Amino acid sequence: MIALLTGHLAFKAPSHLTLDVHGVGYEVLIPLSTYYSLPNQHESVTLSIHTHVREDAIQLYGFLTGAEKEAFLLLTGISGIGPKLGLSVLSTLSVKDLFSAIQAGDTEKLGTVPGIGKKSAARIALELKDKVAKLHPVCTSDDSGNGQPVSPLYDDALSALVNLGYRQPDVKEALKRVEKSGAMAQGLEQVIREALKDLAKG
């Protein structure tokens, strides 16, 4: 099962992209949240991938952040919400807004997503409230070392590196050093690159 792909962006559109990985082109379906943050064509990009196997097809769903993928898997784990609707949710609401709406039981905000009616919105809020509360408490006591709340970029980088197999305490220390170097302003991909270099030093 494919979980992560790194390659050159051969083609991109709001609904999908083609990733050239060593001469093999993978068609990957994406939400708008990922599309808006993609680099220019022919530049390198790393995507978290969910491989969806159906009787008649194998489809790849791609996300620039681990948080997007996590939200997608939570949504598609609900009966009646398939991958297409999961992408629609992430194309309409940011992960932060989605999780806030779920925790607040804000079915009105959830209902703004095309294809999500009142019943589906209520089901999402009901079924995911506890899961989201455990994964993403509204008020986190964690910080990045400077007394400020953890930034979404820090959180996404942490999630991506832990998913690659690194220990969370080691990743947090590496990210603190990356943050002090000022690399956090250069975007997620550069932060991950710098953190990987730091982790490689041991």
- 158-190: per-residue pLDDT in tens? 888 888 888 888 888 888 888 877 776 667 788
CATH number of the domain to which 77 belongs:
1.10.150.20
What letter does residue 149 receive in the DSSP assignment?
B
Task: Indicate whether 145 belongs to any domain.
Answer: no
Task: Indicate whether 33 belongs to any domain.
Answer: yes
CB 161 within 8 A of CB 173: no
Domain identity same for 76 and 55: no
- Res 16: pLDDT: 96
Residue 51, domain extent: 4-63
In the block, residue with structure tokens 């792909």? 5
Q: Residue 4's closest CA among 112, 164, 126?
A: 164
Last residue of a domain, one of 85, 107, 135: 135
Task: Indicate whether 141 belongs to any domain.
Answer: no
- 20-73: per-residue pLDDT in tens? 999 999 999 999 989 999 999 999 999 999 999 888 889 999 999 888 999 999
pTM above 0.95, yes or no: no
Domain identity same for 55 and 73: no
What is each CA distance from 152 to 27, 80, 172, 184, in whole angstroms? 27, 29, 14, 11
CB 5 within 8 A of CB 62: yes
Cα–Cα–Cα angle for 145, 161, 141, rounded to 5 degrees: 35
Task: Indicate whether 147 belongs to any domain.
Answer: no
Domain identity same for 122 and 182: no
Domain identity same for 123 and 72: yes
Task: Indicate whether 140 belongs to any domain.
Answer: no
CATH number of the domain to which 19 belongs:
2.40.50.140
